[in-house]
Amino acid sequence: MLILFSSAAADAEPQTKIRRPFFTVCADTHDEKKRSFDEQHALLAELGFDGMTHLGLGKIPERLESAKKYGLKVFCVYQSFNFNKPLDPKLSETLACLKDSGTFLALSIEGGKPSDASLDDKAVKLVQELKAVADPLGIKIVLYPHKNSWNEKVADCVRMAGHFDGKVGVMFNLCHWAAVDKSENLETVLQSAKPYLAAITIHGSDTPEEIQTKKGNWIQPLDAGSYDLTELFRILDSIGYTGPVGLQCFGIKGDAKLHLERSMKKWKEMMPVR
């Protein structure tokens, strides 16, 4: 839990308490136990998570129904879209179950060379078409920077979001940032995303420099890796970010219960209740 203090003395009583929701991302993709939705959600509720991400456009109603039973929220549905291909005419029907749910649609964009600004018009057109589907359902569009996608950098997403008067959000994903950027650029990246920042994802990680030279490990439990998350949260505090935080678990093998327990323990150490 983050506690914001007034400008009074440091030992003054806290004025406002802000809790960042904590949800999982892809915790089921490599889980050796192959848990059902109900089994996944029972575990997340037991460990103290607030919800999860749903990957892809299939079985969304089943995910929503199961999450609700365990008092959890589906924070976002993630899907990639290609700006060289037409949208599925049934997309509105597929997403209708998310109407006014507070679940956002996180998307990466395919179809062109990463960060090729000459393709901005095609990307803007795609986002406009998606908004035409999502807006009547009360679903927010959030751009998800993903390595090797057209929008692989946060800067690509910020550039796109700027075309939509703050009505399109941006995610910051530690894993994809570490794969394409430098440690010293972190504050500049987050400051640029501040007006649009809708969610972030974290995990244990080695440094960007280690990852990019193949000397380090990418996505790990939160208590592992050489990268110190202290600076990330210092910057998030400084820009006033109080939104949801996702725990990226993609590619972590074994029994998900074991690495989720480790990550939740570390999260509580990082965000103590004071």
Mean pLDDT, 10 residues at a time, the chain of 274 residues: 36 53 97 98 98 98 98 98 97 97 97 97 98 98 97 97 96 96 95 98 96 94 95 94 97 97 96 57
Residue 19 CB coordination number (10 Å): 12
Position 61 scores a pLDDT of 98
pLDDT at 7: 36
According to the model, what pLDDT value does residue 19 have? 80
pLDDT for 271 equals 84
C-alpha 258/C-alpha 142 separation (Å) is 30
This prediction's pTM: 0.90
Model pLDDT, residue 10: 38
Cα 55 to chain centroid distance, Å, stands at 12
Say yes or no: domain 17-83+90-270 is CATH 3.20.20.150: yes
Of the candidates 69, 78, 97, 43, the residue with the CA atom closest to the CA atom of residue 246: 78
Q: Assess contact for 53 and 23: CB atoms under 8 A.
A: yes
Give the residue among 70, 78, 61, 71 at the shortest CA–CA distance from 26.
Answer: 78
How much is the pLDDT for 82? 98
Radius of gyration of the chain (CA): 19
CA distances from 195 to 167, 239, 243 (A): 10, 10, 12
